[in-house]
């Protein structure tokens, strides 16, 4: 055991993150065996990536919220009411103003989703930050209020169809990069990982900080690059369904050969959105003054206040960020379903909080990473996807998710106690 710990220390690998990766591998292998080889397939993993996207986006915001020792129970309801309003805007209002299928519809719909989500988050932030009402009470009220508002937007009617360009943001058969685009993105990601590693190493050496041994740096960077390439290869291996190929061929005027036409799906657009937001969130959390203030508030709120940090304003903007990301998640979720229904986002707050805690965010504040939270979202969605594949009903899926959340909090408490010893 000590040998492994020394190895992890040389590699500078977080034991908790490694534990999550090991748990995810066990979950995938277990479901793959139980489903007779249907889980670890390009098709299922592609669907898993698109299904995880909306939860993963909100989980990024939840990291900021939990790190400052707050909680947001209203994220699923904010997603729901935002999705309904965005659906009405693009399906009923904008076509009357600019014409059906106008190219500005999807752009205005996306912008309105982000603005509406940010506005609802601002209401939470103002009450919590400036009126000092506990976030649990405010967001619990928001959970009920915004879910009710989602129903009143259309009196419970589902909004469909949505703009054809807008629905591409949810993935689907046509909302992907394809073969070539996926490999280009993967290549750029590999170059970015290598460049960041070299830059980080040189910067540490310039200021006299300890660095990993060359072999350890090579192993870590090589492993990260291998994961990127493996992900791209898996997404490219999934081929567009025959019906979608036939429809696309008719639109493009292609002739389908006797053996059929094979088109690789590649990386879906919602996955790209998650990756972009995760990178921006990581930089903001670890490389900016805003991020330093977030960790300072989570470490000791009173000390942060006395150090000159405007903790009320910071709390306000963290919840604005959370709301805006709920807006992005609403866009992805409704686009994936190609409709906006009253139940969209129901119980997503459970998934988001569970993902953040599983990913290493401590409910006592001051600790959390974007990468860990994204991995936590994948774990949660993998459990639900696997149970759905095995035919388990939604009630059992919620039971398992709740149990995982309780276990994750218990493990976090044990970890915090061990750190204090």
User: 370-389 and 394-420 are packed helices; what angle lies between their axes, rounded to 10 degrees?
Assistant: 150
Portion of the chain with pLDDT greater than 70, in percent: 95
Is the pLDDT score of 143 beyond 80? yes
Average pLDDT over residues 182-194: 96
Q: What is the pLDDT of residues 42-60, one digit of tens each?
A: 999 999 999 999 999 999 9
Q: Which residue did the predictor score with more confidence, 156 or 182? A: 182
pLDDT, tens only, 389-400: 998 888 888 888
pLDDT at site 172: 84
| pLDDT tens sequence across 31-42 | 999 999 999 999
Distance separating alpha carbons of residues 120 and 82, to the nearest angstrom: 9
pLDDT confidence of residue 6: 66
pLDDT, mean of residues 94-101: 88
pLDDT for residue 29 = 94
pLDDT at 331 over 90: yes
User: Of 9 and 74, which is predicted with more confidence?
Assistant: 74
Please give the pLDDT value at position 8.
60
Question: b/e per residue, 295-319, with b = 16+ CB within 10 A?
Answer: bbbbbebeebeeeebebeebbbbbb
Mean of pLDDT over the chain: 91
Give the mean model confidence (pLDDT) for residues 305-330. Answer: 96
What integer is the mean pLDDT of 91-99? 90
DSSP β-bridge partners for residue 159: 340
Q: Stretch 141-156: mean pLDDT, rounded?
A: 94
Confidence of residue 9 (pLDDT cuts 50, 70, 90): low
Copy the structure tokens of residue 39: 């889980």
Q: What is the pLDDT of residues 266-295, one digit of tens each?
A: 999 999 999 999 999 999 999 999 999 999
Tell me the CATH number for domain 35-174+268-420: 1.10.3470
Distance CA 272, CA 10 (A): 32
**For position 7, what pLDDT does the model report?**
63
Residue-wise pLDDT for 339-388, tens only, equals: 999 889 998 999 999 999 988 898 888 989 999 999 999 999 999 999 99
Q: Where are the domains of the chain?
A: 35-174+268-420, 176-266
Handedness of CA 251, 256, 260, 265 (dihedral sign): negative
pLDDT class of 421 with cuts at 50, 70, 90:
low
Given phi > 0 = left and psi -120 to 50 = alpha, else beta, which region is 380? Answer: alpha
pLDDT of residue 114: 98
Alpha-carbon distance of 74 to 121, in angstroms, equals: 9
pLDDT at position 374? 95
The better pLDDT of the pair 158, 396 is held by 158
């Amino acid at each position: 055991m000590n040998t492994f710990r020394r190895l992890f220390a040389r590699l500078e690998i977080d034991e908790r993150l490694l534990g999550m990766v090991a748990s995810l591998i066990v979950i995938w292998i277990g479901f793959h065996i139980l489903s007779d080889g249907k889980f670890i397939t390009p098709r299922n993993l592609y669907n898993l990536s698109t299904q995880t996207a909306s939860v993963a986006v909100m989980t990024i915001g939840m990291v900021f919220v939990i790190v400052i020792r707050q909680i947001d129970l209203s994220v699923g309801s904010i997603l729901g009411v935002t999705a309904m309003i965005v659906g009405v805007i693009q399906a009923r209002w904008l076509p009357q103003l600019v014409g059906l299928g106008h190219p500005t519809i999807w752009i205005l719909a996306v912008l309105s989703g982000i603005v509406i989500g940010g506005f609802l988050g601002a209401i939470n932030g103002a009450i919590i930050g400036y009126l000092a009402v506990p976030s649990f009470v405010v967001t619990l009220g928001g959970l009920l209020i915004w879910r009710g508002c989602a129903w009143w937007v259309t009196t419970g009617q589902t909004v469909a169809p949505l703009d054809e360009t807008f629905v591409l943001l949810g993935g689907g058969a046509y909302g992907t990069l394809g073969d070539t685009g996926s490999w280009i993105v993967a290549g750029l990601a590999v170059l970015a990982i290598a460049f960041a590693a070299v830059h980080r190493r040189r910067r540490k050496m310039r200021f006299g900080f300890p660095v990993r041994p060359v072999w350890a740096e090579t192993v870590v960077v090589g492993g990260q690059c291998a994961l990127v390439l493996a992900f791209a290869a898996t997404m490219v291996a999934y081929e567009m369904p025959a019906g979608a190929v036939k429809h696309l061929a008719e639109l493009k005027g292609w002739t389908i050969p006797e053996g059929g036409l094979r088109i690789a799906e590649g990386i879906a657009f919602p996955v790209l959105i998650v990756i972009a937001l995760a990178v921006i969130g990581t930089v903001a959390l670890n490389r900016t003054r805003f991020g330093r203030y977030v960790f300072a508030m989570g470490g000791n709120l009173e000390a942060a206040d006395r150090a000159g940090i405007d903790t009320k304003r910071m709390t306000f903007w963290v919840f604005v960020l959370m709301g805006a990301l709920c807006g992005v998640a609403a866009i992805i979720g409704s686009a994936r379903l190609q409709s906006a229904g009253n139940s969209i986002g129901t119980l997503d707050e459970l998934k988001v909080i569970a993902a953040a805690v599983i990913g290493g965010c401590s409910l006592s504040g001051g600790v959390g990473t974007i990468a860990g939270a994204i991995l936590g979202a994948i774990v949660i969605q993998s459990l639900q996807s696997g149970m759905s594949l095995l035919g388990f009903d939604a009630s059992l899926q919620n039971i398992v998710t709740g149990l995982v959340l309780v276990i994750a909090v218990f493990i976090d408490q044990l970890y915090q106690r061990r750190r204090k010893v």
